[in-house]
Amino acid sequence: MIVTGKGGVGKTTVSVALGMRAAAEGKRTIVCEVAAQENASRMFEHTTVGFHEVELEENLWAISIDPDESMREYVLLQLKVRAMRDMLFRSRIFNYLTAATPGLKELVTIGKIWELAQLDRKVKSGRKYDTVIVDAPATGHGVGFLQTPRTFANIARVGPIHSQAKTLDNFITDHDNTGVAIVALPEEMPVNESAALEHDLVEEVGVAVDRVYLNGLYPERFSKEDAERLGALAAGDEGAPKAAARAALSEFGRARSQRAQLARLRRRAQAPVKTLPFLFEPDLGPEAARRLSRKLA
Amino acid sequence: MSPSSPRLTDALEGKEVIICAGSGGVGKTTTSAAIAAGLAARGMKVCVLTIDPAKRLADSLGLEELGNDARQVEPKLFEAQGIEMKGELWAMMLDPKQTFDELIARQAPDEESRDRVLENPIYQQISGALAGSQEYMAMEKLFELHTEGDYDVLVLDTPPSRNALDFLEAPRRLTQFIEGKSLKVFMKPTGFAAKVAGRGATVALSVMKRIVGFDLIADLAEFFNAFSGMVDGFQARAERVNKLLAAPTTCFLVVCGPQGEPIDEAVYFHRKLVEAKLPFGGVIVNKVHYPAEELCRGGKADDLPAALAEKLGDEDLAQRVAANFSDYQALAERDARNIEHLARELRATGVIRVPYLDEDVHDLAGLAQINRYLFATGEERVAMAAGRA
């Protein structure tokens, strides 16, 4: 399951919540972060998630996929002769090429995700996972990340890179085993962007978009009548009652405009839309993710 | 205590290039447009550039679409929002591929080498989709517009990369790639160059061929050969772009949100700016919840539910309003904590706090509201947020 969406929509929280959900169902699950963001580390304060599989909770694992480490691991798996590897890692051209080739980082990252998803793991003593959840990079570059394997398959028309990039592309577009979830916020432009992203993911990349999560939906705490009664207080005198009335009207306004965005998203999205509540919490830790995971049932 | 807030106009005084940087989802595009509009309203000819593929800027400026050519935003649209346009506001959306093609055309010594590059499969892939080239092209276009000198001020909305740092590193990475000096020699499959390069390199290359396939190596060699006549031009240009970025007439504004993660990114980005000796102009935090102490003149009520019940004459509604306020204040306390940390880390003389507005900002009315907050003084901002202005 690849969790995508634009920056700041809560992809990490939703990824961890999805991971908790799968783990609670008894599936051995791993949440992968990419681009060395280590957001999950931030969530689980006492655990440092690096380029190794760490267990966060029962059945729930995490890894932060570092492209340089992935590249090393890939070469290690390709070249069995140690002297050859050492020479390659020391070689200027190799280091130059791996650092400079655009998209190579994304490619080896997807390669590592593929490796984690294999029933027969390539890495020594690697155990299989039932579910692999990917906290994908923000969609700033459109569908670039997920399209990388195909781009490489096209550049290298034949040869091992071609066939391996093709394998990764098939892996991403395998509708039976790989799904994409889009995380969106209930605002005008994020809704537009999510709809456009879904379109591109389906039409251009050819992946299966299983679900769109509308994250951060405010509760409907006040009715229209409530809002009307609060109007005078909010406009009137000073002090705490005024500030509280203004906060209530703000909540009312946001909850209402978010409902309108939810309706728009439902009209425009092909995949089913699932809402997740806004959590009035200063810091979203594991407990917040757990509460969201219960909503994912 | 709120961090003191200087006026944005002071920070932007005499600037010709303003670069809004920050991680995705923090309102960078809107902020860029609001700053550009504010400067245009004060009589300058301003162009705001975005690279955002989602056409957000066009949406918020009331333009049908934006292209690689600048378009002027109707002054009447702003006047309808109560903003008088003394200057001109222009906007454009970068097409990275087209900008790259134009750059090649300009740098190529002749038509043949131009076509060799434009038709190379590797060029076609990197110039469009792949990460890195967008950031580079944004700088490139910025440089071009600055050199042409048609505008008083250029405002750049940086690409929404997950890590704001990509933006600073991309040009260097891409020029290094294009230079490909060390590589070109080794690429030639046989001959004198291979002998000169030495046995180690030849073996390394043959190992690499086994991993990546010969075809790709051949394409790469062709790519670098095609670029060979342009390397010097690219280098010279990259140096001039870097010079522009470091000039005293340039200013980097860090834009972020009040949550922990965007704040940390802003701190990190600021550190990188300082390391790279690039001019930092200030920090803007969007979607801030103001704390009760600032919103309520006359202090907090000891028993808010009771005070509300008395005024509203409705116990149940009073309870709900009080509970909601307490939820909002929990967010306000978090924001205050994070902003204090940010101000300390940046040793910033002021942090511009734009409140979380009740309506989602996606049109000119929202933009005008953000504009008023950005260009106000700290006190005016608090008054607006508290509904006193």
Per the model's pLDDT, the better-predicted residue between B183 and B11 turns out to be: B11
Residue of B nearest to A197 (CA): B54
pLDDT of the residue at B196: 44
Beta-carbon pairs below 8 A across chains A and B: 240
Q: What percent of chain B has pLDDT over 90?
A: 28
Res A220 pLDDT > 90: yes
pLDDT of the residue at A199: 93
Q: Distance between CA A219 and CA A262 in Å, rounded?
A: 13
Residue of B nearest to A229 (CA): B312
3-state SS string over chain B? Answer: CCCCCCCHHHHHCCCCEEEEECCCCCCHHHHHHHHHHHHHHCCCEEEEEECCCCCHHHHHCCCCCCCCCCEECCHHHHHCCCCCCCCEEEEEECCHHHHHHHHHHHHCCCHHHHHHHHHCHHHHHHHHCCCCHHHHHHHHHHHHHHHHCCCCEEEEECCCCCCCCHHHHHHHHHHHHHHCHHHHHHHCCCCHHHHHHCHHHHHHHHHHHHHHCHHHHHHHHHHHHHHHHHHHHHHHHHHHHHHHHHCCCEEEEEEECCCHHHHHHHHHHHHHHHHCCCCEEEEEEEEECCCHHHHCCCCCCCCHHHHHHHHHCCHHHHHHHHHHHHHHHHHHHHHHHHHHHHHHHHCCCCEEEEECCCCCCCCHHHHHHHHHHHCCCHHHHHHHHCCCC
- Give all domains of chain B, ordered by start, each with its CATH number: 8-109+144-166+241-385 (3.40.50.300)
B36-50 tens-digit pLDDT = 999 999 999 999 998
Residue of B nearest to A234 (CA): B387
| B213 to A249: CB separation less than 8 angstroms, yes or no | no
| B358 to A35: CB separation less than 8 angstroms, yes or no | no
Q: Distance between CA B319 and CA A165 in Å, rounded?
A: 59
How far off is chain B from A25, nearest CA to CA, in Å? 30
> Residue A45 — very low, low, confident or very high, per pLDDT cuts 50/70/90?
low
Least confident of A59-73, A141-155, B77-91, B216-230: B216-230
CB contacts under 8 A, B 265-324 vs A, are 292, 295-301, 304, 307-308, 311-312, 314, 317, 320-322, 324
| A102 to B53: CB separation less than 8 angstroms, yes or no | no
pLDDT of the residue at A295: 87
A50-107 tens-digit pLDDT = 788 888 889 999 998 888 888 888 888 777 777 777 777 777 667 766 766 667 788 8
B308-340 tens-digit pLDDT = 988 888 899 999 999 999 999 999 999 999 999
Q: Distance between CA A235 and CA A175 in Å, rounded?
A: 55
Residue of B nearest to A186 (CA): B360
Chain A interface includes B196 (CB < 8 A): no
| pTM (predicted TM-score) | 0.83
Those residues with Cβ within 8 angstroms of residue B344's Cβ, 6 or more apart along the chain or in another chain: none
> Residue B2 — very low, low, confident or very high, per pLDDT cuts 50/70/90?
very low
pLDDT of the residue at A171: 94
| A157 to B25: CB separation less than 8 angstroms, yes or no | no
Those residues with Cβ within 8 angstroms of residue B183's Cβ, 6 or more apart along the chain or in another chain: A93, A96, A97, B220, B224
Res B67 pLDDT > 60: yes
Q: Find chain B residues with C-beta within 8 A of A97's C-beta.
A: 183, 208
Length of chain A: 297
| A141 to B159: CB separation less than 8 angstroms, yes or no | yes
Least confident of A45-59, A255-269, B173-187: B173-187
How far off is chain A from B51, nearest CA to CA, in Å? 10
**Which amino acid, residue A102?**
P
Q: What percent of chain A has pLDDT over 90?
A: 44
DSSP reduced 3-state for A277: strand
Q: What percent of chain B has pLDDT over 70?
A: 77
Res B227 pLDDT > 80: no
B252-275 tens-digit pLDDT = 999 999 988 888 888 988 888 888
Query: How large is the ipTM?
Result: 0.83
| A234 to B125: CB separation less than 8 angstroms, yes or no | no
Res A214 pLDDT > 80: yes
Helix axes B231-246, B166-179, angle to 10 degrees: 160
> Residue A40 — very low, low, confident or very high, per pLDDT cuts 50/70/90?
low
Q: What is the mean pLDDT of residues B165-174?
A: 65
Chain A interface includes B355 (CB < 8 A): no
> Residue B68 — very low, low, confident or very high, per pLDDT cuts 50/70/90?
confident
DSSP reduced 3-state for A120: coil
Alpha carbons within 13 A on the beta-carbon side of B51: 32
Q: Find chain B residues with C-beta within 8 A of A99's C-beta.
A: 173, 176
Interface test with A, best of B169, B317, B360, B384 (most A CBs within 10 A): B360
Average pLDDT value over all residues in chain B:
80
> Residue A182 — very low, low, confident or very high, per pLDDT cuts 50/70/90?
very high
Q: What is the mean pLDDT of residues A19-29?
A: 95
| A141 to B129: CB separation less than 8 angstroms, yes or no | yes
pLDDT of the residue at A42: 63
Residue among A7, A157, A242 whose CB faces B25 most closely = A7
